[in-house]
Structure 1
C-alpha cells in the first residue's frame, strides 16, 4: 500500500516489555484518524526456581528466542491493518497493570530477561518495516514472526483485500 508523498500520517513504534503499555497504545491507535503503529515484542527467557528437572532446564535453554512485529494502520478512522492486540488478543486480557513509570529497567531485566539475539531480530523487523514506510511510503508486510535461534523469520504480506480496502478509503492513492 502506498501513500502519496505530502499526506500526513502519524507513525508510532513500541518496543517496550510492558503489556500495560501495549494496552495504552492500542487504545491510542483506535482513537486516531490516521496512524501507523509498529509494535514489536519477544518472549522472555523462562526463569527457573528451586531444584529444576532436566526437562525444565532444557525448556529454559530453548526459551526467549521467538517474537513478532506487527504494523497496524488506520486511515480516515478505518482500521486497514489490524494492530498487535487484534492479532494477539492476550495482550488486552493480560492483567499486567504495572505502568513503565512504576518499575525500573533493572527490575524488568531481572524479572523478564531477554536474549540479545532475539532483540536484534526484533529491531531488524522494525527497521524493515520503517525503511519501506519512510523511504517509499509503502507498507509491504502486515506482520512478521521470527525465531532467532533457528535463524528464520516469516513475513505476512499485506493482502489484496487489505490493499483494496486501503484504496477504497483513499480515493486517488496509488497501488
Structure 2
C-alpha cells in the first residue's frame, strides 16, 4: 500500500531575485543573494551571489586588494537558508520574520574577490519549533572558500512595529549586599 505523502508547500527548483525579495526583508546593500537554485523543500538549496567590485564593502575592505568580508559570506549563507525556510512556509510567511541566532564553526579557507560567483550550499541539520539550524558551504568553482553552521528563529511579525525583533525578557539583577 502506497503512503500518501503531501508535497511540501512552496516546493520549487529556482527562486529568481524577485522571489528572493518576496521571501526576505533585506534590500541593497544587505541583500546578499541574487538567486537560489536546486531547492529541495526546506532540506537544502544553493544560493548564488555574483560578487562585483561596485559593492560598498569593497571601498573600505582592502581597497587595493578587495576581499569580501567573511561575515558577509556567512550572512549570505544564512539568507539562503532563511529564504528557503520562508518559501516552504507558504502564505504564513507573510506574518513571519527570520532572526539570525548563532554561528558555529565558521572557517574561511580562501578569499572571495570581485568577479567570483559564490555558490552557497545550505543543508538543514534540524528544526525544532521556531528554531532552524543549517550547515553551509561557500564555494567558488570547485574550491571551498568558507563553511559554518548557523541557526535562526522564525518569529511573528508585529504589524504595528514592522519587523522589530521579539522582546526577550532580561534577567533580573541579583542583589550583591553592597549598598
TM-score of the superposed pair, with normalisation by structure 2: 0.34
Of Structure 1 and Structure 2, the greater helix share is in: 1
Of Structure 1 and Structure 2, the greater strand share is in: 2
- Higher RCO, Cα 8 Å, sep 6+: 1
